[in-house]
Amino acid sequence: MNGSSPRRPGPASDEVNMRARLRERALRLLDRRPYSRAALEARLLRTRGREPSPSPEDVVAVVDELVTAGLVDDQALARQIAERRVAERAEGPASLYARLRARGIPAGLARQTVEEAFAEIPPDELARRALERVWPRYAHLPRAVAARRALALLLRRGIPADAARRAVAHRAGMEGLETEPYNP
- Mind listing the pLDDT tens digit for each residue in 31-56? 999 999 999 999 999 877 777 889 99
Burial class (CB in 10 A: 0-12, 13-18, 19+), 146: buried
pLDDT tens digits for 62-110? 999 999 999 999 999 999 999 998 888 778 898 999 999 999 999 999 9
pLDDT for residue 96:
93
Length reported for the chain: 184
| Rounded CA separation 69/74 (Å) | 13
**φ/ψ bin of 159: left (φ > 0), alpha (ψ from -120 to 50), beta (otherwise):** beta
| Rounded CA separation 20/27 (Å) | 11
pLDDT for residue 88:
81
| Rounded CA separation 168/124 (Å) | 11
Q: From start to end of 40-94, where are the E strands? A: none
pLDDT for residue 90:
79
Between these two residues, 16 and 111, which has the higher pLDDT value?
111
Whether the Cβ atoms of residue 110 and residue 101 lie closer than 8 Å to each other: yes
| Rounded CA separation 157/163 (Å) | 12
| Rounded CA separation 172/159 (Å) | 17
| Rounded alpha-carbon distances, angstroms, from residue 118 to 24, 57, 77, 125, 130 | 38, 38, 17, 11, 14
- Which amino acid appears at position 176 of this protein? G
pLDDT for residue 36:
96
Whether the Cβ atoms of residue 82 and residue 113 lie closer than 8 Å to each other: yes
Whether the Cβ atoms of residue 100 and residue 115 lie closer than 8 Å to each other: no
